[in-house]
Amino acid sequence: MAQYPPIMKDKPVFLHGGDYNPEQWINQKDTIWKKDMELAVKAGINTLSVGIFSWAMLEPREGEFHFEWLDEVMDMLAANGIKAVLATPSGARPAWMAEKYPEVLRARDDGRREFFNARHNHCLTSPVYREKVRRINTLLAERYKDHPALGMWHISNEYGGECHCDLCQEKFREWLKERYGTIDNLNDSWWNTFWSHRYTSFDQIHSPSHLGERGSHGLNLAWRRFTTQQFCDFYAWEIEPLKCITPDIPCTTNLMHTTRGINYFELGRLLDRSSWDNYPSWTNDERDAQVAAHSAFCHDLMRGVCGNKPFMLMESSPSSVNWQPINRLHAPGILMLQGLQAVAHGSDTVQYFQFRKGRGSSEKFHGAVVSHDNSDQNRIYKEICQVGDTLAHLTDVLGAGTENKIALIFDWENCWALEDAQFGSNINKGYEKAIDGHYNGFVRAGYGVDVIDETCEIEKYRIVCGPMTYMLRPGFADKVKAFVEKGGTYISTYISGWVDEEDLCFMGGFPGPLREVMGIWDEELDTYDETQHNHFTWNGKTYEISDFCALVHAESASVLAELQEHFYRGYPALTENAYGKGKAYYIAGRTGEDFLKDFSAAVAKEAGLKPLVENLPYGVLCTQRVGDRGDFLFVMNTVPYENAVTIPACMDVRSGSDVFGKVILKPYEVLTLKRK
């Protein structure tokens, strides 16, 4: 059982709030700011994120600082019982800085410097930018260190992208020297004899570029690892003065689910809590079952990158966003589902982008708590009030942890290498599709899942599932062996154990170092177009294989099902290897969710696990949080029609009434229950 302290220690309730840009209304503060507070308080909003893009208002000219307006905002928040998630402004910088110090601007992969534009685009190395950030962060911390509104630091905004300027090239080369020691070691690690690519000096190396080298997988992988390191280093640089001046104020930066640029398991280790921005493309029809399941996975991943502590839903849209190809409204109930789903997966906050819609520029039509009608009369605002009211009644859940016994591996480094590799299908390797399939298999069978990467500890789990672990990172195979030996269940699939951490193929047959524990040799891989399939029959039911199908030989493993088509008919489709006290399963091809649900249910049962709720109908998901104040079960209907579920003996947290047996869930309804 894990009970965590509240994120802001003097605010022991669910945080409800959003991104707030009062400086955009500085000329109407007497009316607009006043209205903001009235509408925030009425909606049960107790936190607002301020200062995210405020640099030009805080330092309008170099060295000329204007904190008066922010003082007023902070005082106003405190007077209304609202905590500030105060941002460092590095996500966007003023025009004067770009004009005077062009080095703060990013360079593209052809070396061309960008003009002043948009946001999220500073050079990560520039000493000038680092100095400017250090100065303003320090001033913010000194000024607000004792302010009663200060609750948390929001570092920058959605770190991402990369810079290819000369300063970054130099830093990259230093990083390479540190990692590889000698140029020949680098050449060997990257297989540079290929196409006569051996370097004789680190100075010859340039970041991947469309004018230069993009086909060297070793280089590509190194650049991504380096970029992650740059962001970690930048984050550490940003928080140093904050940690020194305000050691008790937690820090976070808002992440973006499975976005490829940064290995969040690395960055996540530096955060006090993880926080993330969730914008599901709700469809308002039965496909919301898929949308919700993907969101569920993202929540578990974002919780996982910071060691499964309660996290923050830092941004979500109160209604339609403005940047999807088609921007649908949130049908009644979706807003509540979206917020409570985060809570169900371990979030201690429900926050929105944005509190108030601006009058101009590109986000004026993005969903907000307060719309252009400037009133409490619209549907969305009323639903937000309901979310605020509901959260206020769920305080017992606050800080409760998770106790999932199943772990699914999503690994950024593996993903980078796999997506870069040329074989089989070069249209889409479908790593995320495979992960989603296995995730859905477990959750639709009623189990909670932790999402981890290959560097995480796995001992505490009963089942670990590693789909498409193309790259085996150092120590991972040994960890799996020890885990299975001691009685764990490991599930592996096609395209696993092909390369080591430098993207060099394992010799001696795939799945490389996993061959012994899996008890199979994976000899060849066939790839199908969308009209081609294979089939197999398991436990009396026939299932389809699409996309990829491996030609596998059972060694010590026993064959549970055989392929039925093509020249490799009769080869294993599914194998099971008894190893020590545990078992290892190999799934030879990409199966659908029907199989993955049946298989996950069978394997979990075999491993002695019980589903949170039995026989979940399609479209209903459930999770559990466990803390000092009880075991909390969340049952979520994620579709716009009713569903019947059978609930174990529970109490409804909000009403206190008993819930047991058959219950009809209304469209998008969420039950928050406490187990008896």
Give the catalytic positions in this structure: 158, 315
Q: Which is nearer to ligand GLA, 157 or 263 (CB)?
A: 157
Q: Which of 238, 315, 383, 547 binds ligand GLA (CB under 6 A)?
A: 315
55 is a site residue for ligand GLA (CB under 6 A):
no
CA quadruple 322, 323, 328, 332: dihedral sign: negative
Cis amide prior to 354 (ω within 30 degrees): yes
- Give min distance, CB of 299 to ligand GLA, in A: 16
329 vs 127: CA distance, rounded Å = 45
Q: Which is nearer to Zn ion, 230 or 371 (CB)?
A: 230
165 is a site residue for Zn ion (CB under 5 A):
yes
98 is a site residue for ligand GLA (CB under 6 A):
no
396 vs 17: CA distance, rounded Å = 19
168 is a site residue for Zn ion (CB under 5 A):
yes
| Separation in Å, CA 571 to CA 515, 543, 553, 605, 648 | 17, 15, 7, 27, 43
Q: Which is nearer to ligand GLA, 226 or 235 (CB)?
A: 235
Q: Which of 84, 107, 321, 380 binds ligand GLA (CB under 6 A)?
A: 321
327 vs 607: CA distance, rounded Å = 43
157 is a site residue for ligand GLA (CB under 6 A):
yes
Q: Which of 264, 353, 442, 536 binds ligand GLA (CB under 6 A)?
A: 353
- Give min distance, CB of 353 to ligand GLA, in A: 4
**Beta bridge mates, 152:** 85
Neighbours of 487 (CB within 10 A): 13
Using CB positions, name the residue nearest to ligand GLA. Answer: 277
Q: Are strands 534-538 and 541-554 parallel, antiparallel or unpaired?
A: antiparallel
Contact string (CB under 5 A) for Zn ion, positions 574-613, x = contact? ----------------------------------------
H or E element, residue 391:
helix 379-392
Q: Which is nearer to ligand GLA, 363 or 420 (CB)?
A: 363
Contact partner at residue 277 from ligand GLA, Zn ion, none, CB < 5 to 8 Å by partner kind: ligand GLA
CA 82 vs. chain centroid, Å, equals: 27
Contact partner at residue 165 from ligand GLA, Zn ion, none, CB < 5 to 8 Å by partner kind: Zn ion
Contact partner at residue 315 from ligand GLA, Zn ion, none, CB < 5 to 8 Å by partner kind: ligand GLA
Helix, strand or coil, per DSSP, at residue 84:
strand
Contact partner at residue 476 from Zn ion, ligand GLA, none, CB < 5 to 8 Å by partner kind: none
Strands (E), 368-519: 406-409, 449-452, 463-466, 489-493
- Give min distance, CB of 126 to ligand GLA, in A: 22
- Give min distance, CB of 416 to ligand GLA, in A: 23
- Give min distance, CB of 539 to Zn ion, in A: 56
Considering only the stretches 10-18, 124-132, 175-183, 666-674, report the one whose residues sit in contact with Zn ion under the rule CB under 5 A: 124-132
Q: For residue 62, give the nearest of 89, 24, 98 by alpha carbon.
A: 98
Q: Which of 14, 159, 279, 311 binds ligand GLA (CB under 6 A)?
A: 279
316 is a site residue for ligand GLA (CB under 6 A):
no
Is the Cβ–Cβ distance between 155 and 239 less than 8 Å?
Answer: yes
- Give min distance, CB of 394 to ligand GLA, in A: 25
218 vs 356: CA distance, rounded Å = 46
- Give min distance, CB of 308 to ligand GLA, in A: 23
| Separation in Å, CA 311 to CA 9, 48, 366 | 15, 16, 24
Q: Which is nearer to ligand GLA, 95 or 118 (CB)?
A: 118
Main-chain dihedrals φ then ψ at residue 415, nearest 5 degrees: -65, -45
- Give min distance, CB of 203 to Zn ion, in A: 17
461 vs 582: CA distance, rounded Å = 12
Considering only the stretches 119-127, 342-350, 401-409, 460-468, report the one whose residues sit in contact with Zn ion under the rule CB under 5 A: 119-127
Q: DSSP letter for 62, please.
A: T
Helix, strand or coil, per DSSP, at residue 21:
coil
449 vs 465: CA distance, rounded Å = 10
Main-chain dihedrals φ then ψ at residue 250, nearest 5 degrees: -70, 155
For residues 199-238, which are near Zn ion according to CB under 5 A?
none
Considering only the stretches 123-131, 230-238, 428-436, 522-530, report the one whose residues sit in contact with Zn ion under the rule CB under 5 A: 123-131
Is the Cβ–Cβ distance between 545 and 572 less than 8 Å?
Answer: no
274 is a site residue for ligand GLA (CB under 6 A):
no
Helix axes 334-344, 288-304, angle to 10 degrees: 30
355 is a site residue for ligand GLA (CB under 6 A):
no
Tokens coding 158: 């959605």
- Give min distance, CB of 280 to ligand GLA, in A: 12
338 is a site residue for ligand GLA (CB under 6 A):
no
Count of residues interacting with ligand GLA (CB under 6 A): 9
Contact partner at residue 157 from Zn ion, ligand GLA, none, CB < 5 to 8 Å by partner kind: ligand GLA
CA 159 vs. chain centroid, Å, equals: 13
H or E element, residue 350:
strand 347-352
104 is a site residue for Zn ion (CB under 5 A):
no
Q: Which of 123, 136, 221, 408 binds Zn ion (CB under 5 A)?
A: 123
Q: DSSP letter for 421, please.
A: -
Q: Which of 48, 163, 293, 612 binds Zn ion (CB under 5 A)?
A: 163
Q: Which is nearer to ligand GLA, 362 or 539 (CB)?
A: 362
Cis amide prior to 60 (ω within 30 degrees): no
CA 267 vs. chain centroid, Å, equals: 12
Neighbours of 28 (CB within 10 A): 13
Q: Which of 366, 438, 479, 481 binds ligand GLA (CB under 6 A)?
A: 366
CA quadruple 556, 559, 563, 566: dihedral sign: positive
277 is a site residue for ligand GLA (CB under 6 A):
yes
300 is a site residue for ligand GLA (CB under 6 A):
no
Q: DSSP letter for 33, please.
A: I
**What is the binding site for Zn ion (CB under 5 A)?**
123, 125, 163, 165, 167-168
**What is the binding site for ligand GLA (CB under 6 A)?**
157-158, 277, 279, 315, 321, 353, 363, 366
